[in-house]
């Protein structure tokens, strides 16, 4: 069945979506249980269901920019921006964006990295949704928040498809910001 937006109206449960996630052991390093969302993206029902879940969550929030974190945050981030009628801002790893940019470094659970965003991509009157595929310790999202805050937007919201609930959050995770994570995964 098609909705008025041309999207299919499937009724998958969160559990059905969770079951589609492929777990790859010891990637990118030993001891990590990598939650691979590409299996969700391969299945049109899952992709459309996730798109609908996110759209329905944010459709009345006045989002003007969706910030997608490299690389898997680009997938649903761009889809969501399109559906919300918002702009899409890619946040990439250091050295991947041309032109003037802002940058922020952060610690990962398995190393350190730097992310960048084009200067001027976020304005003071923007309501920004920062989207990523997975929330573990929160280092990447926290860095993205610091990056976006440099632009002084009106409001910042956070979203991740998967929340690894067993991972302790970093000390400076922005707990004051609204966070939504539809799929909770509890692995040690």
CATH number at residue 157: 3.40.50.2020
Q: Which domain range does residue 88 map to?
A: 61-185
Main-chain phi, psi angles of 84, to 5 degrees: -85, -10
Task: Tell me whether residue 34 is in a domain.
Answer: no
Q: Is 124 a catalytic site residue? A: no
pTM of the model: 0.91
Q: Looking at the 3D structure of the chain, how many domains does it have?
A: 1
Task: Tell me whether residue 25 is in a domain.
Answer: no
The catalytic residue among 72, 83, 92, 116 is 72
Contacts for 126 with CB less than 8 Å, ≥ 6 apart:
64, 65, 151, 153, 154
Read off the pLDDT of residues 50-103 as tens digits, 9 standing for 90 and up: 999 999 999 999 999 999 999 999 999 999 999 999 999 999 999 999 999 999
The catalytic residue among 45, 107, 109, 155 is 109
Token pair for 165: 């609930």
Task: Tell me whether residue 68 is in a domain.
Answer: yes
Helix (H) / strand (E) element for 145: namely: helix 139-149
Token pair for 2: 């098609």
Q: Which residues of 73-96 are buried (b: 16+ CB within 10 A; e: fewer)?
A: bbbbbebbbebbebbbbbbbeeee
Read off the pLDDT of residues 58-69 as tens digits, 9 standing for 90 and up: 999 999 999 999
Contact status, residue 101 vs residue 151, Cβ threshold 8 Å:
no
Task: Tell me whether residue 174 is in a domain.
Answer: yes
Task: Tell me whether residue 74 is in a domain.
Answer: yes
Task: Tell me whether residue 10 is in a domain.
Answer: no
Q: Is 109 a catalytic site residue? A: yes
Task: Tell me whether residue 28 is in a domain.
Answer: no
Task: Tell me whether residue 23 is in a domain.
Answer: no
Question: Would you give the DSSP letter of residue 138?
Answer: S
């Amino acid at each position: 069945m098609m909705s008025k937006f041309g999207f299919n109206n499937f009724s998958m449960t969160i559990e059905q979506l969770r079951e589609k996630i492929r777990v790859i052991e010891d990637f990118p390093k030993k001891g990590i249980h990598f939650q691979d969302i590409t299996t969700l993206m391969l299945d049109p029902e899952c992709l459309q269901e996730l798109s609908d879940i996110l759209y329905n969550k944010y459709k009345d929030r006045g989002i003007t920019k969706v910030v997608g974190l490299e690389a898997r945050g680009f997938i649903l981030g761009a889809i969501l921006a399109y559906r919300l009628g918002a702009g899409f801002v890619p946040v990439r790893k250091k050295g991947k964006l041309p032109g003037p940019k802002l940058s922020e470094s952060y610690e990962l659970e398995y190393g350190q990295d730097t992310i960048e965003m084009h200067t001027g991509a976020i304005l003071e009157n923007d309501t920004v949704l920062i989207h990523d595929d997975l929330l573990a310790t929160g280092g990447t999202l926290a860095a993205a928040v610091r990056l976006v805050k440099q632009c002084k937007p009106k409001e910042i919201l956070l979203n991740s498809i998967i929340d690894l609930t067993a991972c302790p959050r970093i000390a400076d995770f922005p707990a004051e910001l609204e966070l939504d994570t539809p799929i909770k995964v509890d692995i040690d």
